[in-house]
Amino acid sequence: MHIETLKIFCDLADLQSFSKTAEKHFVSQSAVSQQLAQIEVTHKCQLINRKKRPIELTKAGQLLYNAARDMLDRYGQLKSELNALKSSAGSRINVGAIFSIGMHTLPDYVKRFMVGHPNVNVHIEYFSAARIYELVLSGDIDIGLVAVPKKDKRLDVYDFENEPLVLACSPKHPVSLESHVDIHRLQFERFIAFEKDVPTRVWIDNILERYNIVVRPVMEFDNIETIKRAVEINAGVSILPQTAILQELGAGTIKALPFSNEKLVRPTGIIVRKGKILGQAGRYCIELLQKKTK
């Protein structure tokens, strides 16, 4: 039984959907069905109750799911240990970051890290938050940087930076003439939002709900760069991390207004697979990101 087959089975059990599982693994629904059928034929038992909607595991399916999860966790640990052996000299650290952190916050930390470890290659790639969690858990990246980190018993989660949240608007917007803004000014305002499955969107929605604010979402995007472009053309206002709009502030294409009600922030975090073996350079990198080194 291949590791990839076990991953597909576990995702099918978690997502309770053939289509979502197929989309996640970039295969057809037929391929997911065929792999499930292959396992059932091999073990001569039914694993999924196909008559239920959403689908449910049978007792045999639950047994296999528990065992498969354990095997996948052990396999991920093995990959981590093998990667640690291959990079015992600390020659490479693989980092996955959401775009806003990777582009605007991380570079200064990397520069400081390279001063102490000039021979270490810090390889940074940008992914969605969901993809970063997957890659950290599978052992394919060493360190992940995400916004609004979620708790997971399979992960060690460390605090990174609390990024100040500001009202971002075009210089042509009437509110741009003010030095600060009451969050209630956003009531029924045209709003450029993150897509609903982005953790920052959930965080901002909770803030607005806490203040009983109803905005008018006119556009939704999965990345901060596109949101900034929409704000620049005065399509609406947005709430964004100030660190992510420093270039636009300098160029004068976006105005940033702090909120008078309270200091709003977006938490960010460092995620590492629990039990992952990191070399000295990797441990130093995490300490640096936590601002524990001078």
Tell me: the pLDDT tens digits for 1-22?
588 899 999 999 999 889 999 8
pTM of the predicted model, to two decimals? 0.70
Residue 96: the pLDDT is 96
Q: Which CATH class is domain 163-265?
A: alpha beta
Same topology, domains 3-83 and 163-265? Answer is: no
Using the structure block, give the residue that is written with the tokens 């037929």.
30
Instruction: Give residue limits of the domains in the chain.
Output: 3-83, 89-160+268-289, 163-265
Q: Would you identify the CATH topology of the domain 89-160+268-289? A: D-Maltodextrin-Binding Protein; domain 2 (3.40.190)
How confident is the model at residue 293, as a pLDDT?
44
Residue 217: its H or E element: strand 216-221
- Considering the domain 3-83 in this protein, what is its CATH number? 1.10.10.10
More confident residue, 26 or 158: 158
**pLDDT class for 197, splitting at 50, 70, 90?**
confident
CA distance linking residue 219 with residue 232, whole number of Å: 13
pLDDT tens readout for residues 103-146: 999 999 999 998 888 888 889 999 999 999 999 998 889 999 99
Question: By C-alpha distance, which of 280, 276, 153 is closest to 288?
Answer: 280
pLDDT tens column, 222-266: 999 999 999 999 999 999 999 999 999 999 999 999 999 999 999
> How far is Cα 19 from Cα 27, in angstroms, rounded to an integer?
9
pLDDT digits (tens, 9 = 90+) for 151-191: 899 999 999 999 999 999 999 999 999 999 999 999 999 99
pLDDT tens track for 27-50: 898 988 998 988 888 888 999 988
pLDDT tens digits, one per residue of 82-106: 766 655 544 789 999 999 999 999 9
